[in-house]
């Protein structure tokens, strides 16, 4: 582990309820000092004391970001995790349409990495959202890009995307929010709501707090950990203003775990999905969030002040167990299959688990709060210029063991799998012929779900990740706008992505 001498002054802007507190901080080499710096004094964010926030000012979001192994307290343990700037989750970045973003990134991990800006509509070439970059251990690289002036407001996030190491590095803790503020945030009812960010991550540690070795994890089904955290805390206490609204902006930053969320006694009102606002609030008793997905919900505090549990309901996302108990091949595959008890399933299969408790605070006068009726215009996309099919499956490859495939092929960086024209619209039919659910994700442009097994989707929404259940065909409609170049689509169970379930997409003028 290399410790670089970082002696810099930086503006750390902590978002505040009414006025933003600006803190001029001196960061030096000491990890603990940097952790201390991140303590938020914002009472609105009392649930996430260690989340620091970088906000753009005068059209520029500029920061230093360092990936490194750090000591972090997680539940009752001190854990050695992979962090950005020593924090779990990573600092939250906030920008506005039209802003420039400049991130001086240093890789102090002991292996290569890079950054991906999940869901942002920005260039995916050069020093922008370029997942083909390979930033070696010890190297520094400056990411720089502009947020388009017409970018949707929404909850996006960043994480590593070095093929082959994505699941491992995300499971180490490397993930943070990237928020674009815009029209949605101007709606008075939404402004009146108390805003909270919920970053969902799971971890697997040994008794000394070190990350479990990959050989002990179920890579085939996708690694899961038994320590589930919200904003880096196990079973935190969240607050809702009594009678008032809270706006939860939730990201599933786990590499494989699905969250089927429900809050006792409180319906969710979905106001935004991956790519920003929906047309009007959608009432739902629960929300299923697969890896990579985001949702924003409004939740109203009722009059009865007591503790409510935010639970993760059981969900079966398919198992490799039915493949038989034999060895599945050599190398890391073999290790994954031998994962013992973890193979049989995960706790979320069997019983609801409590992720957090919710308590009411400061009552709000009932008449001052209401649910917004209209949120955004989600346009209907034109008929597609082209329809394509993508089949998700897995198979055995001689010498490689189990591989995960799209249209029969494992990922190869040099190959172009799908070539499309800029300024066209396509329908993609994602067909899951395998035995596990796969959340399908496309970089660079958001899409709308048209139908699932020919049943038209009820609500129009911008998505970048969609669950395709085993046996299901999901049709998505996607416009290719603004940027040319090569990027990817893949399963967001990141072990599946690392094991081949990814294809390359070339957008040409």
Which residue stretch of 26-34, 201-209, 365-373, 492-500 sits at the interface with Cu ion (rule: CB under 5 A)? 492-500
- List all residues 6 or more positions away from 200 whose beta carbon is below 8 Å from its beta carbon: 228, 229, 230, 250, 251, 252, 253, 254, 257, 259, 289, 355
Q: What HEC string does 236-288 produce?
A: CEEEEECCCEEEEEEEECCCCCCEEEEECCECEEEEEECCEEEEEEEEECCEE
Displacement of CA 416 from its chain's centroid (Å): 26
Measured at the alpha carbon of residue 213, what is the angle toward residues 209 and 215, in degrees to the nearest 5?
Answer: 150
- Taking the complex as a whole, the smallest distance from the CB of residue 116 to ligand C2O amounts, in Å, to 5
Q: How far is the CB of 462 from Cu ion (least distance, A)?
A: 14
What is the footprint of ligand C2O within residues 97-136 (CB under 6 A)? 116, 118
Pick one of ligand C2O, Cu ion, none as the site partner of residue 92 (Cβ within 5 to 8 A by kind): none
By the rule CB under 6 A, 161 interacts with ligand C2O: yes
| Residue 490 interacting entry, from Cu ion, ligand C2O, none, C-beta within 5 to 8 Å by type | ligand C2O
C-beta closer to Cu ion: residue 69 or 95: 95
The H-assigned helical ranges of 356-493 are none
Measured torsion, CA atoms of residues 411, 417, 421, 425, in degrees rounded to the nearest 10: -80
Residue 504 C-beta: closest distance to Cu ion, Å: 14
Site string for Cu ion, 425-454 (x = CB under 5 A): -------------x----x-----------
162 binds Cu ion (CB under 5 A): no
- The interface partner of residue 317, options being Cu ion, ligand C2O, none and the CB cut-off 5 to 8 Å by kind, is none
What sign results for the dihedral spanned by CA atoms 30, 34, 35, 36?
positive
Least spacing, CB of residue 443 vs Cu ion, in Å = 5
As a whole number of Å, the end-to-end CA separation of the chain is: 44
CB of 139 to Cu ion, least distance (A): 22
Pick the binder of ligand C2O from 249, 438, 486, 490 (CB under 6 A). Answer: 490
Give min distance, CB of 170 to ligand C2O, in A: 8
Q: Measured from the CB of residue 23, what is the shortest distance to ligand C2O in angstroms?
A: 30
- The CA-based angle 253-439-278, given to 5 degrees, is 80
By the rule CB under 5 A, 490 interacts with Cu ion: no
> Nearest approach, Cβ of 440 to ligand C2O (angstroms)?
11
Give whichever of 291 and 301 is closer to ligand C2O, judged by the CB atom. Answer: 291
Among the listed residues 148, 427, 496, 507, the single contact to Cu ion using CB under 5 A:
496
CA-based torsion, 5, 48, 159, 271: positive or negative = negative
* Nearest in space to 89 (alpha carbons), one of 112, 106, 65: 65
User: Measuring CA to CA, how many Å separate 86 from each of 176, 219, 268?
Assistant: 12, 26, 33
Q: Report the nearest approach of Cu ion to the CB of residue 502 (Å).
A: 10
Question: And the tokens for 506?
Answer: 């070339």
Distance in angstroms (rounded) separating the CA atoms of residues 130 and 118: 11
Enumerate residues 112-131 that contact Cu ion by CB under 5 A: 118
Counting contacts by CB under 5 A, is residue 491 touching Cu ion? yes
CB of 292 to ligand C2O, least distance (A): 5
- 276 part of the interface to ligand C2O, by CB under 6 A: no
Residue 463 contact, options Cu ion, ligand C2O, none, Cβ 5-8 Å cut-off depending on partner type: none
Q: Which of 185, 10, 28 is nearest to 103 (CA)?
A: 10
3-state secondary structure of 323: helix
* Binding-site partner at residue 68 among ligand C2O, Cu ion, none, CB < 5 to 8 Å by type: none
Helix (H, G, I), strand (E, B) or coil at 347: helix
What DSSP element (H or E) covers 74? strand 60-74
User: Quick count: other Cβ atoms within 10 Å of Cβ 365?
Assistant: 8
Binding partner of 491, given ligand C2O, Cu ion, none, CB within 5-8 angstroms per partner class: Cu ion
Site string for ligand C2O, 288-317 (x = CB under 6 A): ----x-------------------------
Of 438 and 475, which CB lies nearer to Cu ion in the complex structure? 438
The one among 430, 449, 474, 493 contacting Cu ion by CB under 5 A: 493
CB of 339 to ligand C2O, least distance (A): 24
Pick the closest to residue 280 from 346, 369, 218, 189 (CA basis).
Answer: 189
Among Cu ion, ligand C2O, none, the one that 493 touches (CB under a kind-dependent 5 to 8 A) is Cu ion
Residues in 423-462 at the binding interface with ligand C2O, rule: CB under 6 A: 441, 443
CA distances for 419 relative to 311, 390, 416, 426, 505, angstroms = 42, 13, 7, 11, 6
**Which chain residues interact with Cu ion by CB under 5 A?**
118, 438, 443, 491, 493, 496
**Which chain residues interact with ligand C2O by CB under 6 A?**
116, 118, 159, 161, 292, 441, 443, 490, 492
């Amino acid at each position: 582990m290399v410790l670089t001498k970082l002696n810099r002054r930086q503006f750390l802007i902590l978002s505040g309820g009414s006025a933003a507190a600006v803190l001029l901080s001196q960061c030096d080499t000491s990890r603990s000092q940097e952790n201390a710096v991140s303590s938020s004094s914002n009472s609105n964010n009392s649930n996430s004391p260690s989340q620091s926030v970088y906000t753009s000012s005068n059209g520029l979001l500029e920061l230093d970001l360092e990936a490194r192994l750090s000591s972090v307290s997680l539940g009752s343990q001190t854990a050695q995790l992979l962090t950005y700037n020593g924090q779990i989750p990573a600092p939250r970045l906030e920008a506005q349409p039209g802003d420039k973003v400049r991130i001086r990134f240093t890789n102090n991990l002991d292996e290569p990495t890079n950054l991906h800006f999940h869901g942002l509509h920005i260039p995916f070439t050069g020093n922008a959202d370029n997942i083909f970059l390979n930033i070696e251990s010890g190297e520094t690289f400056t990411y720089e890009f502009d947020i388009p002036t017409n970018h949707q407001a929404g909850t996006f996030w960043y994480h590593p995307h070095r093929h082959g190491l994505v699941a491992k590095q995300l499971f180490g803790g490397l993930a943070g929010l990237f928020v674009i503020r815009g029209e949605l945030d101007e709606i008075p009812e939404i402004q009146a709501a108390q805003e909270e960010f919920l970053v969902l991550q799971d971890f697997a540690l040994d008794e000394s707090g070190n990350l479990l070795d990959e050989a002990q994890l179920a890579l085939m089904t996708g690694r899961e950990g038994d320590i589930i955290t919200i904003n880096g805390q196990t079973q935190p206490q969240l607050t809702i203003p009594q009678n008032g609204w809270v706006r939860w902006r939730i990201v599933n930053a786990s590499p494989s775990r699905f969250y089927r969320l429900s809050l006792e006694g409180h319906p969710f009102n979905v106001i935004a999905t991956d790519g920003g606002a929906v047309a009007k609030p959608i009432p739902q008793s629960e929300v299923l969030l697969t890896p990579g997905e985001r949702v924003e919900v409004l939740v109203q505090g009722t009059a009865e002040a007591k503790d409510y549990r935010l639970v993760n309901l059981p969900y079966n996302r398919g198992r490799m167990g039915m493949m038989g108990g034999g060895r599945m091949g050599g190398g890391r595959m073999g290790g994954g299959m031998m994962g013992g008890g973890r193979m049989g399933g995960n706790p979320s299969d069997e019983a609801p688990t409590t992720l957090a408790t919710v308590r009411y605070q400061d009552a709000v006068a009932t008449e001052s709060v209401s649910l917004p009726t209209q949120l955004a215009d989600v346009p209907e996309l034109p008929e597609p210029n082209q329809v394509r099919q993508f089949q998700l499956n897995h198979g055995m490859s001689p010498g490689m063991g189990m591989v995960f495939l799209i249209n029969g092929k494992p990922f190869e960086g040099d190959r172009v799998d799908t070539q499309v024209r800029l300024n066209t619209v396509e329908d993609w039919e994602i067909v899951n012929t395998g035995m596990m659910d796969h959340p399908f994700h496309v970089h660079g442009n958001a899409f709308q779900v048209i139908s699932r097994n020919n049943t038209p989707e009820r609500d129009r929404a911008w998505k970048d990740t969609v669950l395709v259940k085993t046996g299901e065909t999901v049709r998505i409609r996607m416009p290719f706008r603004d940027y040319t170049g090569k990027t990817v689509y893949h399963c967001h169970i990141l072990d599946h992505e690392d094991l081949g379930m990814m294809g390359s997409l070339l957008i040409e003028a």
